[in-house]
Amino acid sequence: MAKYVASTTLRELEWENSHLIEGDVAEGMAKLKQQPGQDLVIYRCHDLMHSLLEHDLIDEYRILVHPVLLGKGRSLFKDGAQRVNLDLVDTTVIPPGLAILTYQPVR
């Protein structure tokens, strides 16, 4: 599986079948989305998610809700993030209560 890495510090990648997105990350991701092939998936990339959100480049959100409440932690969205109306398109619950909520932006 191809891996695309958006980084402001890396200049070379040692991982097999990996490609560095250089320059403007939103422009690079927009070009990747236009290519044929499988979906692009982002895991745990808070800053990248915000950059793609600002450029309307996210087609689907999969939010995992764990059955644990924390008193503090990193927010999913930063203060001042634009509002995005979403449609719930799928739900899956995996024991012992992990909920996977799949949303698509209303366009």
For the chain, the distance separating the N- and C-terminal CA atoms, rounded to the nearest angstrom, is 30
- Asked whether residue 101 carries a pLDDT value surpassing 90, the answer given is yes
**Do 25 and 15 fall within a single domain?**
yes
CA atoms within 13 A on the CB side of 17: 3
Q: What is the value of pTM for the model shown?
A: 0.76
**Do 52 and 68 fall within a single domain?**
no
Q: What percent of the chain has pLDDT over 70?
A: 100
| 20-29, 54-63, 87-96 — most confident range | 87-96
Mean pLDDT, rounded, of the chain: 87
**Do 44 and 64 fall within a single domain?**
no
**Do 53 and 24 fall within a single domain?**
yes
User: Domain total for the chain?
Assistant: 2
**Do 11 and 29 fall within a single domain?**
yes
Q: Which domain holds residue 38?
A: 1-58
**Do 22 and 7 fall within a single domain?**
yes
